[in-house]
Structure 1
C-alpha cells in the first residue's frame, strides 16, 4: 500500500508528513510543518454499503456532498458535516456536528471501526475492542491516518425539509437572542429535527426541519413579532440544506480565493443578549466600510438539535462537549499578511473573550475543527484531568515521537 510505504519512508528519513482531505480546519498549528510530505487522500473516496444496509465502509478522502449523494441514491443517509466541500472524515475525527445529530448523534458516534495507518507505519483496524477507539472519536488527528471508516447508515425516513430565513437589522440583536434562548435553548419540547442557525453578515436565523414543507409557525411566529426586515420560506429535501445556509459547493466558503479565514470558536450553554450586542457592535465596527480589510467576514451561531448527541454518555468518546448547546465562531476573512494575521488574531480573540466573559462559564470550550490555534489542549479536548491524562497516555503509547503533531496536538 503506497500510503504505508510513504509513512515508512518518512519515518526512516525523519521527514515530517501530514495527511489532508477536505481542508476543514485552518488552525495555526499547521504552520509548524515547514517542510515534509503531504499525503492527499482524495482518491480514497469509495462507499461500500453492507448487504444488510445498516453500515457502509467509507474512504478516508471522500467529501461530504459526495457521500450524501452516494447514500441518497440508494435511499440512505448518515450524519455528515453541514458544509458540502469539506471532507467527511476530518470533522468526524474532531467529533463532528451535522444536521442529523439530533436523531443519531455526532458524526463520530456513527463510527464502528477505523482502518488506520499508525505512526509506526503499520495498518491496523481499530474498533470498540481497542483503547484507541475512544481517542480517535474526538482527538483522532493525533493518532494516525484513517484510510477508511465503517459507519452506521440509516434509511431516509423524511425526504422533505423546510427552512425559514428571517432577516433582522442590528438593532434587534438583544431581542432576537433573548427570544432564541426562550424558544430553543430552554425549551425541552423542541423537536429533534429542529436546528437554528444565525449569521452576522446576511443575518438569517435558520430553522431546517425534517419531514415538512413549511416550518411550523410555533418556532417562527415570535420572531415575526419582532419586526424583521424580511422573511424567506423555502422547501426541498435534505440535499438543499447546504445551499439554504450558504455552504454548498457553489457558495463562497467553498471557493478558493486566496484569503485567510480563521475562526475563533466557543461553545456556549445559552446566549447572553448583552454580550451578543457588545460583540455585534464590535463586529460591525471592524468589518464595515471600504477601508476595512475584514469586509466580508461573518460570525456563525450554530444551534444543532442535541437529543441524539446526549443519548451517548459524556465519557463515550474523546469529544468533551456534549452538554453545550451552541457552537459560536466569529470568522474573519482577509488577504493574508503578517500585519493582518496579527490584527485578526487580536480582533477574533477579543470577540471570543466578550462571549466567554458573558457566558459565566469556568472554562473556554472550543470546537477543535474550528480552532484558531492559540487555544490550549484543555480547551480543545476538555479540561477534566481524567480526559487529559487518558489522551496523554494514548499519545505516548501510539505516537511517542509525535509524528502527528500538526493539527491541535495533545499537550
Structure 2
C-alpha cells in the first residue's frame, strides 16, 4: 500500500523540478504522451501532497489492489494500472486534474458491478469512491445527503432505522449511483419513480476537473442528462435526494417454485395481474415488485429448469392475498412467505448480500429486453432453449433467465421529457445472465445463447422497438435502444456532451459517443471475443 501522506514531499526544489517536467494536459485523448504505467509509489509521491491525509494509492504489487479491483463480473474487465482512493470530495478534482495532466485515463467506481463490454476499452486509473460513504439525514426530514460511494444495503438500513425510505436499486450489494445514473429501477418506483427521480442535486466533477453542483436551478440541462445518461458526464462525489416516511413496519413476501408444466398458467396469470400491460385500475403500487427466473435447483432437477417467482407487498398478508389468489391456484412444488422489515426484503427474495447476485468472480453474460406484456409463446421458447443449452453446456448450470415486473404508477406519473431516462412505458424488464466460471473456450457459446434469448423476447413483441436498460446492457446495442429513439433525446445529449465533456473522457460505460481513443484500447482483454471493434463503432 502507498498511503499518500507517507510520501508527502515538502521540498520546494522537488516541486519546481516536477512542474518543469510535467507535460501539457492531454485532454483530447489523442496525444501521444501518457504516464499510464507509473508506479503507485510515484503517483503517491507526486499526487499525495495535494490530497487529504487518508487517501490511498494502490498498484498491482500491493496486497490491497486485488480487493479494490475485484469485480462482480470479470467477463468484461477494465485494465486497471493503479487505484486512487479519495478520502474527501475535494480530493476528486485534484485526482482528475492529475490524471489529465499526465495523459492517464480515469474511471470512477464504487462497487464494481458494471457488466458492459465497453468497460473493456478502459486502461488507466481507477478512482475508487468507496471511502465517500456518508449518509446524513437532513434536519427537515425531507432529504438525505449521500457520498458517492454508498451502496443500497447501508442506505436502506440507516434510513429505515430513522423512520424513512428512499428509492434505490433492488440488490443490496450494488452501489446507489451506478444504477441511478442510468435511471435506476427499484422496489419503490411505484411510489416515487425511478431512483434518479428522487435526485435533488448532485455534486459533479467534470472531465476537466471542475467541481460544480447540478440541480433544477443550477446547470438544469446537465441535471436532466444525469438522470438516465449520467455515466457520460462526470464523477458524482455526493448527492442530495428525497426521503419519505417509511410507512408500514413490515412488508409481506411470498415465493413460489413451479415446474415447467405450469409455465403457461404462470405467465397468463401475470399478464392478467397487470391487465396485459395496462397497470391502471390495479392495486400495484403496494404490490411493489415481483420477479421470476428460470433456474436450476439441483434438489429438484439437475437437467430441467424450474420457475422461481417472488412477490413483495408493502403491507400485510391479508391485504396482499387478493392479488395472489390466481398464483396460489397454480400448484407449486413449494412456497414460502412471511413479513419482514423492508431492509430484509432483498434477502428473502433472492437479491440480498448473501445471494448469488452478490457473489464476485463468475462470468455473467447479459442481454436485456424491455417489454409491456409477457408473450407466453415466447416464454416457452426461451425456457426450452434454456434446457437445451444446459444439456449441451453443463458448465452453464448457474445461468438464470430473469423476468422483473415493477409497480409502475410512480414512474408513469412523471413527465418522460423531464429526464434522460427514456423507457417509462416498459414496466417489464427481462434479461438472461449466462453464468459460469471464467473459461474463454465457453465465451462464444455464452454470448450466442444470451443474444438468441434477447432476440426471442424482441421478436415476441413486434410492435415495440427494442429497448435496453442501460445498466443491463451487453454493450453492443444501438445508442438509440439505450437512450431513446426520439431524435431530440440524442441531439440534446450530444449537445451537452460537447459542452461538458468535449474530449469524450467519460466514454467507457455505454457511451453516447463511442470511444475512439487508441491509448485506452487493449484488444488482448477481449480474449479473442472479436467484440472490441464492434463496440467502438456502436451508434455510427
Name the TM-score, length of structure 2 as normaliser.
0.74
The answer to whether 1:161 aligns with 2:251 is yes
User: Which of these residues, 272, 279, 303, is aligned with residue 382 of structure 2?
Assistant: 279
**How many corresponding residue pairs?**
408
Q: Which residue in the other structure is 2:128 paired with?
A: 40
Query: What is the alpha-carbon distance in structure 2 between the residues aligned to residue 308 and residue 344 of structure 1?
Result: 36
Query: What is the alpha-carbon distance in structure 1 between the residues aligned to residue 365 and residue 286 of structure 2?
Result: 29
The answer to whether 1:240 aligns with 2:333 is no
Mapping of 1:285-296 within 5 angstroms?
285-288=388-391, 291-296=393-398
User: Which of these residues, 285, 293, 297, is aligned with residue 199 of structure 1?
Assistant: 293
Query: What is the alpha-carbon distance in structure 2 between the residues aligned to residue 226 and residue 242 of structure 1?
Result: 25
Gaps of 5+ in 2: 1-89, 298-306, 514-540
Query: What is the alpha-carbon distance in structure 1 between the residues aligned to residue 153 and residue 463 of structure 2?
Result: 36
Q: Which has the higher contact order (CA 8 A, sep 6+)?
A: 1
Shift of 1:165: 1.1
Which 10-residue stretch deviates more, 303-312 or 178-187? 178-187
Query: What is the alpha-carbon distance in structure 2 between the residues aligned to residue 214 and residue 261 of structure 1?
Result: 38
Extract structure 1 runs of 4+ deviating beyond 3 A. Answer: none
Mapping of 1:15-164 within 5 angstroms?
15-33=104-122, 35-129=123-217, 130=219, 131-164=221-254
Post-superposition Cα deviations, 1:152-181, rounded to whole Å, max 9, x if no partner, equal 001111121111112111122222111210
Structure 1's 368 and 321: CA in aligned 2 closer, same or farther, altered over 3 A? same
Shift of 1:341: 2.1
Query: What is the alpha-carbon distance in structure 1 between the residues aligned to residue 485 and residue 199 of structure 2?
Result: 24
Q: Verify the 8 A CA contact 2:252 2:320 in the aligned structure 1.
A: no
Shift of 1:139: 0.4
Q: Verify the 8 A CA contact 1:261 1:332 in the aligned structure 2.
A: yes
Which 10-residue stretch deviates more, 89-98 or 279-288? 279-288
Q: Which residue in the other structure is 1:3 paired with?
A: 92
Post-superposition Cα deviations, 1:178-217, rounded to whole Å, max 9, x if no partner, equal 1210122435332202122111115222221112145633
Query: What is the alpha-carbon distance in structure 2 between the residues aligned to residue 214 and residue 293 of structure 1?
Result: 43
Shift of 1:335: 2.1
Residue 417 of structure 2 aligns to a residue whose secondary structure is coil
Q: Verify the 8 A CA contact 1:163 1:215 in the aligned structure 2.
A: no
Which 10-residue stretch deviates more, 49-58 or 188-197? 188-197
Q: Which residue in the other structure is 2:280 paired with?
A: 188
Which 10-residue stretch deviates more, 110-119 or 292-301? 292-301
Mapping of 1:361-372 within 5 angstroms?
361-372=463-474
Query: What is the alpha-carbon distance in structure 2 between the residues aligned to residue 211 and residue 217 of structure 1?
Result: 11
Post-superposition Cα deviations, 1:318-363, rounded to whole Å, max 9, x if no partner, equal 0000011200011111122333222211110100101100011342
Shift of 1:64: 0.4
Shift of 1:262: 2.5
Gaps of 5+ in 1: none
Query: What is the alpha-carbon distance in structure 2 between the residues aligned to residue 406 and residue 337 of structure 1?
Result: 24
Quote the RMSD (CA, aligned, Å). Answer: 1.4
User: Which of these residues, 253, 257, 265, is aligned with residue 368 of structure 2?
Assistant: 265
Which 10-residue stretch deviates more, 91-100 or 336-345? 336-345
